[in-house]
Amino acid sequence: MPTMPAMVSLYISFFFVYAIYAVINPFLQVMLRNLGYSYDMVGVLLSMFEVAGIVGPLVLARRIDKRGDMRGALLFGTVFTSLGVFILMFSKIHALTVLGLVVIAFFMRSLLPILDSYVNNLFNGDSQKYTVLRSFGTVGFVFFSLVFAIADKPDLESNISIGMYALVACFLFFVPVLFWKAEPKRTIGSALLVSEPEGKWYDRAFIVGLVIIAFNRISMSSITSFFSLYLVEELSINAISLMNAIGAGSEYGAMILAGILIQRKKVLPVHLLMISSVAMVVRLLIYAYVPTFGGVLAAQLLHSLCYGFFHPAAIFFVARRVKRSHRTLGMSMYVSLGTGLPAVIGSSLGGVVVEQYGYRSLFMGYSLFALLSLLLSLVFYRLMTTPAVEEI
């Protein structure tokens, strides 16, 4: 069990890593619109962002699994995330905008799978301990979102203002990680000893599960990529941070409950994924048919199931379906192929749909992907409930 100072450092790290996401996730699309890009071009650029976010975790994952040094990887990734933000803040030409987006995505998207792998290994797959720690990240996201909403910051018309808040968040995350105790780097020999023969580190359910997760996340991409613009341009609601805080806050209790249920073997990850898909269908249809403040508020509260149940289920699905020796790679495949690639597809199509048909068609159409995720869970239910590769 980690010492008290080590646990405090981990809690602070999760708290501040989500401060980065509290700035970049909701305001990145606003930064692109400030640069004068059309809806469909914003969709294309967000797709490029997601492609880089797919590659980054996969490139770093196997090196970390073989060599260790997660602390160094997090510090390195935070520095380059800051560099990407700085480039985007002062971009005046298309090439620099693309460069900034790619650098941010490549390194920022690598931070969470490294953190998740580190904590899972530290607690030997204890889902209850993980979700309590991870929920502190939710507290961080909600806290900074509320601060932004109350202070009416950042200035949504200034990319420099948005970028400065992102840089401060990166610094606040960098500092506690700097004081982590460095892991001993593995030698080449020890790295070979922990390696598994190719094809032996995952099972068939892992592949099917990634597909189920991917369809669920395609539906979610309509929210992550276009929710802020939907609020501002469709409903004339400027409280982006407040609405994101309400959604994130609702996931806190659900995430802890999910961890308890999984750890006590009351449910399997596939059960929570199915609940998440049902909630996603309902949430998107509310956006489509109840375009009011009250409708948005109700839909945001469903984030408790859409993500609060989904994320622990996905994390512990991966932990059960891949070998410990390849856990960072498994987590990175979840982030890259299970969420990143669907976001590329969703963002690309979403920009065109909004441009041509509007937000109602976007949310209606994307609810079908969540429905497909549910149907696949039912079709492959027996496979998804087979004995795990790695019992936790």
Q: Between 341-357 and 39-67, two packed helices, what is the crossing angle to 10 degrees?
A: 170
pLDDT beyond 50 at 193: no
Q: Which of 41-55, 180-194, 258-272 has the highest mean pLDDT?
A: 258-272
Q: Are the CB atoms for 81 and 135 separated by under 8 Å?
A: no
Dist CA 293 CA 45 (whole Å): 29
Q: Are the CB atoms for 338 and 220 separated by under 8 Å?
A: no
- The number of residues making up the chain comes to 392
Q: Which amino acid is at 276?
A: S
Of residues 194 and 96, which shows the higher confidence score? 96
Residues whose CB is less than 8 angstroms from the CB of residue 217 and which lie 6 or more positions away in sequence, other chains included? 338, 339, 342, 343, 346
pLDDT beyond 50 at 194: no
| Chain centroid to CA 163 | 20
pLDDT score for 240:
79
Per the listing, tokens 């997660």 go with 70
Per the listing, tokens 């690309």 go with 348
pLDDT beyond 80 at 121: no
pLDDT beyond 60 at 83: yes
Dist CA 122 CA 118 (whole Å): 6
Domains annotated on the chain, with CATH: 4-384 (1.20.1250.20)
Dist CA 228 CA 230 (whole Å): 5
Residues whose CB is less than 8 angstroms from the CB of residue 301 and which lie 6 or more positions away in sequence, other chains included? 246, 247, 250
pLDDT beyond 60 at 384: yes
- Report the chain's mean pLDDT, rounded to a whole number: 87
Q: What is the share, in percent, of the chain residues with pLDDT greater than 70? A: 94
pLDDT score for 195:
44
DSSP, res 386: S
pLDDT beyond 90 at 239: no
| Chain centroid to CA 82 | 18
Residues 302-346 pLDDT 10s: 999 999 999 999 999 998 898 877 888 888 899 888 988 888 888
Residues 141-153 pLDDT 10s: 888 888 888 888 8
Residue 1 CB burial class (10 angstroms; 0-12, 13-18, ≥19) = exposed
pLDDT category of residue 26 using cuts at 50, 70 and 90: confident
